[in-house]
Amino acid sequence: MGSILIVAEIQKGTIREASYELAAFASKLGGREVTSLVIGSGVAGEAESFAKKGGGKVYVADDAALGDYNVDGYAAAIEAAIEATSPELVLISNTPSGWDVAPRIAAKLDAGFVSDAFDVQDEGGKLVFLRRVFNGKLDCKVTAETDKVVATIQPGATAPFEGSSDGSVETLSVDLSGVRAKFVETKVAEAKGVDLSKADIIVSGGRGVGDPEKFPEVIQPLAEALGGAMGASRPVVDAGWLPHEYQVGSSGQVVAPKLYVACGISGAIQHLVGMKASNFIIAINKDPDAPIFEVADIGVVGDLFEVCPALTGAVKEAKG
Ligand SMILES: Cc1cc2nc3c(=O)[nH]c(=O)nc-3n(C[C@H](O)[C@H](O)[C@H](O)COP(=O)(O)OP(=O)(O)OC[C@H]3O[C@@H](n4cnc5c(N)ncnc54)[C@H](O)[C@@H]3O)c2cc1C
């Protein structure tokens, strides 16, 4: 059975949670040796942490020139790690840098490429990837005909690696003489309309709200009564009911307000990843088995069209 190479990603000096999720997938594919690569500048400490949390033997490509993302430099480091480990599977997170570098690596290796998978399984020794298609309506299974596969995995598709592991760290020397790309600057997109990342209280509506006109009637008044901002799940944004800046989740904003109220939201992993760090979560859903209740501090099983207006009224009354 082949081995797995995890390409860990550094964000603001630390390894992203998504990389620990890759470690969880790798450990699930038991029997395969796991090695990892940490790329950056001054990241030896992070490599040590990763080695103890599912990263296995961790190669660290530590160079001032790799401090900011640079596709040529990162590709050179990944190729050096591949040469050292000959993996059957290269796992990369499905993040903007992953979108950029992963296909290059696959093309260079002449490997199969699976993008945006949310699960990977071992079926009789064969790697089978699961991808969502048709806007999440269908799941499809993908296998590669090639001996080597490069796959990008959705952040938030699984829980991060839990527990501890016995790993080691080794420095990887990377030839950066062929680097032509130059990092210029990071530009943070200007927040339009609503900046959920700064809101202390967020009241989000999901597909359960059912109608764009109900947002200003039911969700917005509760948000305003609480002195908070309105948010939404992805189907609301996909349907054009609210603009993208309202979206909470893995492909929207990641928020951690003091209070998060989820109304008519089922609690899919991609939504949870964007709000589960909230200090206090209230979920209103008419389905008692909705997964959102697993992360809620208070769960209200009921019709949001009754519960939200009642709550809005009670908050207004309490505030006088
Ligand atoms: C690559 C990818 C990225 C994604 N990114 C995101 C993301 O960033 N954010 C995100 O949210 N999703 C994201 N998704 C989609 C995600 O998988 C779910 O499909 C989505 O979160 C479901 O949204 P929802 O909970 O609003 O809708 P549903 O899952 O349809 O849930 C609606 C809920 O409303 C409840 N309900 C219905 N009527 C009422 C009522 N009257 N009162 C109370 N409850 C009611 C139902 O019981 C149900 O639980 C992503 C998916 C993919 C594949």
- pLDDT per position as a tens digit, 217-253: 999 999 999 999 999 999 999 999 999 999 999 888 8
**155: Cβ below 6 Å to ligand 1?**
no
- pLDDT at residue 236 in the model: 97
- For 233, phi then psi, to 5°, come to -90, 175
Q: How does strand 126-133 pair with strand 112-123?
A: antiparallel
**276: Cβ below 6 Å to ligand 1?**
no
**244: Cβ below 6 Å to ligand 1?**
no
The pLDDT tens digits for 194-225 are 778 789 999 999 999 999 999 999 999 999 99
- pLDDT at residue 136 in the model: 59
- pLDDT at residue 306 in the model: 98
- Dihedral sign computed on CA atoms, order 221, 222, 224, 228: negative
User: DSSP string spanning 127-150?
Assistant: EEEEEEETTTTEEEEE--SSS-EE
Ligand 1 centroid to Cα of residue 203, in Å, is: 14
The pLDDT tens digits for 81-95 are 999 999 999 999 999
Distance CA 94, CA 77 (A): 18
- pLDDT at residue 190 in the model: 67
131 pLDDT tier (thresholds 50, 70, 90) = very high
Pick from 288, 308, 309, 310: nearest CA to 299: 288
The pLDDT tens digits for 257-272 are 999 999 999 999 889 9
- pLDDT at residue 192 in the model: 63
Distance CA 162, CA 21 (A): 9
- For 281, phi then psi, to 5°, come to -120, 130
pTM: 0.69
Share of the chain above pLDDT 70, in %: 97
* Cα pseudo-dihedral 195, 196, 201, 202, rounded to 10: 130
76 pLDDT tier (thresholds 50, 70, 90) = very high
What is the atom index within ligand 1 of the atom nearest the CA of 292? 49
- pLDDT at residue 155 in the model: 82
- pLDDT at residue 264 in the model: 98
Residue 238 tokens read as 């996909």
Strand partners, 246: none
Distance CA 18, CA 153 (A): 9
User: Picking from 47-51, 116-120, 250-254, which range would have the lowest pLDDT averaged per residue?
Assistant: 250-254
260-293: b (≥16 Cβ within 10 Å) or e:
bbbbbbbbbbbbbbbbbebeebbbbbeeeebbbb
Residue 25 scores a pLDDT above 90:
yes
Average pLDDT in the 54-65 region? 96
Contact 6, 55 (CB under 8 A): yes
**231: Cβ below 6 Å to ligand 1?**
no
Identify the residue whose C-alpha is closest to ligand 1 atom 36.
208
The pLDDT tens digits for 135-171 are 556 789 999 999 999 999 988 778 889 888 899 999 9
Residue 197 tokens read as 């990342």
193 pLDDT tier (thresholds 50, 70, 90) = low
Average per-residue pLDDT in the chain? 93
Ligand 1 centroid to Cα of residue 61, in Å, is: 39
Q: Where are the beta strands (DSSP E) in 177-303?
A: 201-205, 229-232, 259-263, 280-285, 298-301
Residue 304 scores a pLDDT above 90:
yes
Residue 134 scores a pLDDT above 80:
no
133 pLDDT tier (thresholds 50, 70, 90) = confident
Contact 318, 223 (CB under 8 A): no
Distance CA 249, CA 297 (A): 19
The amino acid occupying position 3 is S
